[in-house]
Amino acid sequence: MSESPAPSRRDLLRAGLGALGATTLAPLAANAQPPRQPNVGRIGGLINRLGQQSQWKSPELRLVRRITLGLNDAEVARVRQLGYDAYLEEQLNAATLPDPDMATRLQNPLYTQVLGFTPRQLYEQWDRGTMYFDSQLPYTLLNSERAVFSRRQLHERMFEFFADHLHVPSWERGVPPIHYERVIRPNVLGHFGTLTRAGMRSVAMLIYLDQAWSTRFGINENYARELMELHTVGWDGGYTQEDVVGLARILTGWSINESYEFDYKANNHDFGAKSAFGLSFPARPQAFSGTSGMDEGIAYGEMLIRHPNTKRFLATKLLRWFVRPDPSEAQIQAVINAYGAEGDIKAMLRVVLSRENLLRAPAKLKRPFHYAISTLRAIQATVRPFNDIRRDYLALVYPASGMRQPFLNWPTPDGYPDRAEFWAGLIVERWNEVQHTLVSELDGPGRAVINLSLFSADGTVDGIVRAINTRIFGGEMSAALETEIRAVFRAGVNNTRVLNAVRLAISAPEFHFY
């Protein structure tokens, strides 16, 4: 069977402009219809063609593409040194992986200050209107640095995954550093049960979804619905609207105190008889203090963590994140079998990221944040210590925002879409960011500086092409793209043409996918 030709940038642009890039989806109600199915038009055909390309032959490099935020020299060398399985194990055990560069960067006073803020201090900032520069922006910069420079790349990919799974918009009421740093980040390679319990006690989540004010005097269903629909059993998990109401009653009293810390308030709990999703609690005497009644919410959470539909929901979502949009029943069942009682994330990822799965996986379109970070990693851009936060905001944060994915700021609790057809309409914005922000030799506001000598050390066309192939594509650049890049130097080699050749490589269809 003959190979399909690699799509050109024009193909990608045309397909993207016809896709659903401007569509936003609201979270589903308890009786909602399933999520919109992927567009199978031009963008679907383009993705299938890219997925069939044969240039990505190395299983090791396929693994690096999937579990990092972009190839670079260091990761390519490391996977070749260790091999597929040992490299995956090293990334799965992120806590033991030395990361001296990030340890140094974490000492930045901007970061130590924001990481040390209490929830109350963050809320006071929000009330004063200083949150943007005092806490939210430094935290966004910190996570962008982690994505670009940390050796613990699988940890960063899983942080991105669970930041969508337990999403709270980053500008919501001042506490995202607490939610993302203390609830999500420590648990992304641990157990799903631990993460779910932490999410049930997240001040940011309880405030964002109005659970903090849900009492026996008047329930609010928002958090109860999302706990099942988005966090555990899924939109098709079998629950009803009556189950949502029952769970909202079960969770009454789960709230916050004046210091903006989790606080259970027995006086606000509904002690009447309740049932939801097959779990019932008898009526009991009203308590006005202590933790009486909190055991009901705890028991319900434990049931959800162990529910077969939760296992299926998470297994399917992980496979879609790392492997393909349409995982088979056999793939899903294999991940379910690795879930265990508590949701062992590492065990599930070993199954998800098997050689067999990745070798058969079609290419995935990078979301804007992934594309921006992978560009900075590929060109090994210089990002200087943060002295001018406004300039640094432009250099590290604005590119993804310019491509319509501001960091952690999707407006609804379902998190940013992980569907190619959603993002494919933003190809022009991607090209603009490459040309004007991400790939530049100018050291000025809003620019990450490329070291051109990495690509033009010997001054020959062959050397430049070889460097681009090695540093940006791990040695797997297509022949068609190589021809295009060589054409840049028809009139000779100079720094401007080297820069344009790198921009061409970063703009190429095969770099938009992983």
Q: What is the 3 state secondary structure string of 93-125?
A: CHHHCCCHHHHHHCCCHHHHHHHHCCHHHHHHH
**What does the DSSP 8-state code read for residue 513?**
B
Closest by alpha carbon to 514, among 10, 19, 44, 62?
Answer: 62
Whole-angstrom Cα distance, residue 383 to residue 144? 11
3-class DSSP assignment, residue 254: strand
Give kind and range of the element (H or E) at residue 178: helix 176-178
Residue 4 lies in a domain: no
End-of-domain residue from the set 155, 190, 225: 190
CB 329 within 8 A of CB 302: no
Whole-angstrom Cα distance, residue 51 to residue 366? 13
C-alpha distances in Å from residue 341, one per residue of 9, 193, 232: 47, 8, 14
For residue 30, what pLDDT is reported? Answer: 39
Same domain, 505 and 383: yes
For residue 382, what pLDDT is reported? Answer: 74
CB 244 within 8 A of CB 227: no
Same domain, 380 and 424: yes
- Return the exposure string of 413-430: e unless at least 16 CB atoms fall within 10 Å of the residue's CB, then b: bbbbbbbbbbbbbbbebb
Same domain, 316 and 452: no
Same domain, 300 and 312: no
When computed from its CA atoms, the radius of gyration of the chain, rounded to whole angstroms, is: 24
Judge residue 209's burial from the number of C-beta atoms within 10 Å of its C-beta, 0-12 exposed, 13-18 middle, 19 or more buried.
buried
Count of domains observed in the chain: 4
Torsion angles phi and psi, residue 382, rounded to 5: -85, 125
Residue type present at position 7: P
Residue 119 lies in a domain: yes
CA 310-178-247 angle, to 5 degrees, is 35
- Residues with Cβ within 8 Å of residue 496, at least 6 apart in sequence: none
Same domain, 493 and 382: yes
Residue 202 lies in a domain: no
Residue 77 lies in a domain: no
For residue 26, what pLDDT is reported? Answer: 30
Residue 29 token pair:
């109600």
Residue 241 lies in a domain: yes
For residue 196, what pLDDT is reported? Answer: 98
Residue 88 lies in a domain: no
CB 164 within 8 A of CB 422: no
Whole-angstrom Cα distance, residue 452 to residue 441? 7
Domain with 251 in it: 210-305
Torsion angles phi and psi, residue 83, rounded to 5: 90, 165
For residue 159, what pLDDT is reported? Answer: 98
Same domain, 412 and 487: yes
- Cα atoms in the 13 Å half-sphere on the side-chain side of 294: 17
Whole-angstrom Cα distance, residue 339 to residue 333? 10
Same domain, 136 and 186: yes
Same domain, 269 and 320: no
Residue 82 token pair:
């260790």
Same domain, 482 and 447: yes
How many Cβ atoms sit within 10 Å of the Cβ of residue 73?
14
For residue 5, what pLDDT is reported? Answer: 38
Same domain, 301 and 342: no
pLDDT less than 70: residues of the chain: 1-55, 173-174, 383-398, 441-448
End-of-domain residue from the set 139, 157, 190: 190
Give the rounded distance of the alpha carbon of 371 from its chain centre: 12
For residue 391, what pLDDT is reported? Answer: 57
| H helices present in 21-152, as ranges | 42-51, 59-67, 73-82, 84-92, 100-105, 109-116, 119-128, 131, 137-149
Whole-angstrom Cα distance, residue 209 to residue 189? 26
Whole-angstrom Cα distance, residue 69 to residue 71? 7
Residue 86 lies in a domain: no
For residue 442, what pLDDT is reported? Answer: 60
- Return the exposure string of 158-190: e unless at least 16 CB atoms fall within 10 Å of the residue's CB, then b: bbbbbbbbbbbbbbbbbbbbbbbbbbbbebbbb
Same domain, 371 and 497: yes
Q: For the full predicted model, state whether its pTM sits above 0.85.
A: yes
Residue 76 lies in a domain: no
End-of-domain residue from the set 263, 279, 305: 305
How many Cβ atoms sit within 10 Å of the Cβ of residue 2?
4
- Return the exposure string of 455-482: e unless at least 16 CB atoms fall within 10 Å of the residue's CB, then b: bbeeeebeebbbbbbbbbbbebbbebbb
For residue 55, what pLDDT is reported? Answer: 67
Same domain, 350 and 371: no
